[in-house]
Structure 1
Amino acid sequence: MTERRDGSHGHEPDGEGDPEHQDQAEIDRQWQQIVEGLGPLEPPGPAPEPPTAGRPDLAPYFAETPEWGPRDYTVDDEDEGDFVPPDPPALATGRPAMVLSVVGLIGGPAALLLSALFWPGIPGIVITVFIAAFVAGAVGLFLSLPRDQDRRDPWNDDGAQV
């Protein structure tokens, strides 16, 4: 590849392939060539007739409208059972150690972020407390993981329980 006098690199001579340097007549000639290559834009042959005009044996199927359609379906609103859904459990019924661990794990970094934004002269002991809350929450959640499974045998379980 050689460098041209204008500082650009390329294989084409100046002006070729660039639409800005072609005159409008050349562009119009190329466009006309493209349009002629498309062929006729009308569909071949006469326009299709309705199905009943070409096939009189199909006329009864298209002349009548059905008595009902898919949008005529209605759902019965009658209650057929005595099912009453159970009340959902209260949100605060978790184990206290688990709740404190989650609060420490989420609240520690959140408190650090908020204090960095709104309390620029925060004492070091407060930062230490927030970091300790995060670490204690992570350790508490880690220790609450189940430990009584036999890790060597993956099929050692009681099966699905309802």
Structure 2
Amino acid sequence: LEVQANDKPAAPEPEEKPAEGAGDDDTAGPADPPRLGASITFAPGVGGAGPRDYSPAEPAEEDLDETDEGHFVPPEPPPLPEADTTAKFAWLAVIGGPVLMLVAVVLRWDMTWWLTTLCVGGFLGGFATLVARMSDGDDEEDPDPGRGAVV
């Protein structure tokens, strides 16, 4: 490599100085680049719009078609089966036992043995009744479970 004496590095260009009367404060003018951290906001809803502020455009009325074949409308679900008397009393015991104990504590009743037995025994008895009456799911067993999805 040969270095010639005429190869001098380019001198840096002088920086432009603000015009007089522009002010010497630290605020950035419209021509200045943004300062570091200027885009950070610490309060929600303050500052520019973010990705959660996006809302899709509403379709025009002529685009909406009442007979759209691709729109799925699920059928009405069947009504719930009527609960029998045993299930109703079991739920009453499961919910009523703790509620009765809470009322006794709030009203500062004496926690006698019969009140405690009624609350705890009612809860445990109702819970055991509901668990014992649960269906295990074998009632409607499919004879060929390996069929896969049926479309």
Determine if the TM-score, normalized by the shorter chain, exceeds 0.5: no
TM-score range, shorter chain: 0.3 to 0.5
TM-score, normalised to structure 1, is 0.39
TM-score, normalised to structure 2, is 0.41
| Structure with higher RCO (Cα < 8 A, 6+ apart) | 2
